[in-house]
Copies of this chain bind each other. A is one copy, B any other.
Amino acid sequence: MREGPDIARIASLIGDPARANMLTALLVGKALTASELAQEAGVTLQTASSHLGKLEQGGLLRQRKQGRHKYFSLASDEVAHALEALMGLAANAGHLRTRPGPADVALREARVCYNHLAGDMGTRLFDSMVARGFLRLRGEDVSLTPAGAHFVRCYGIDLARLEAKRAPLCRQCLDWSERRSHLAGGLGRALLERFEELGWAKRKPDTRIVEFSRRGRAGFDELIARG
C-alpha cells in the first residue's frame, strides 16, 4: 500500500499529551505566547519550545513574533476540525479526561471552538439559519444567501469588512458533542463577537465555556426562532 498522505506524522504530533494540551488550549481561538502554552501543558519553557517548534514544522500552528513575545495560534480551521473529529472518537470510546461534571455540561451547551460558537447552541443556530434559507449547503461548502446577508447585516454585522478578508466567510465544523455541524469561518467568528458585544454572552476566563446571560439567552432564542 503505502499510498496517500502520511497520517502517522501528524497524528503522532497530536499524540503527545503536552502538545495535545497546547492544541486544545488554542481551540479557544486566542493566540497564546510560548510561556502561556507551557503553563497550559504543564511543562517547562524549554520543553514547550521544543514542542512548539515541532508543531509549527508540522503545519499545525502558525506563529508571529511581537516584540519579545512569540504568539502561536492554530494554522487553520481545518486543524480545529481535525481536533474536534478526534475528540469525537475519544468521547465515543469513553476516554473522557474527567467524568461528566458541571463544567462538562456547560461545555456541551455552549463553548468556543476556534473563536466561533459550538455546542448545542452553536448547532441550533446553524440549523436555524439553514432552515430559514440564510445558508445554503452544497456538499461540504456553505454559502450565505442574499436573505442571509440581509439577516446578518440587520443584526449589526459589518459584512463588507468580512468579505474583504481572505479567509472564507462560511465554513461548517463538525461538533464532537452534538455530532452535527456549527458555523465556522469569518461569519461564525463575527456572530460570536456580536453576542459578546451585546452583552448576551461572556467567555469564562481560561476555559472554552461560553456563558449566556438570561437576557442573552432570551435574545438568542428569539433570534433563531424568527430573526
Contact = CB atoms under 8 A, between A and B. Distances in A.
Interface of A: 1-17, 19-21, 23-25, 40, 58-60, 76, 78-79, 81-83, 85-98, 103-104, 107, 123, 126-127, 130-131, 137-141, 172, 174-176, 179-181, 206-208
A103 B79 CA distance: 27
A82 B92 contact: no
Contacts of A90: 5-7, 9-10
Contact of A130 (B7, B10, B138, B176): B138
Contacts of A10: 86, 89-90, 93, 95
Contacts of A60: 89, 93
A127 B103 contact: no
Contacts of A16: 8, 12
B1 A180 contact: no
Given A8-B14, A82-B88, A98 B180 contact: no
Q: Determine how many copies of this chain the complex contains.
A: 2
Contacts of A179: 140
Given A1-B25, A1-B206, A82-B82, A96 B12 contact: no
A126 B139 CA distance: 7
A81 B25 CA distance: 23
A42 B76 CA distance: 34
Given A12-B11, A82-B86, A3 B97 contact: yes
A181 B7 CA distance: 20
Contacts of A137: 130, 137
Contact of A21 (B2, B107, B207): B2
A88 B12 CA distance: 15
Nearest to A141: B180
19 contacts: A1-B206, A3-B98, A3-B107, A5-B91, A6-B95, A6-B96, A6-B97, A7-B20, A8-B15, A10-B93, A11-B11, A11-B20, A12-B12, A59-B94, A59-B95, A78-B88, A81-B174, A123-B139, A140-B175
Nearest to A182: B139
Given A2-B21, A3-B97, A82-B82, A139 B12 contact: no
Contact of A127 (B79, B87, B138, B174): B138
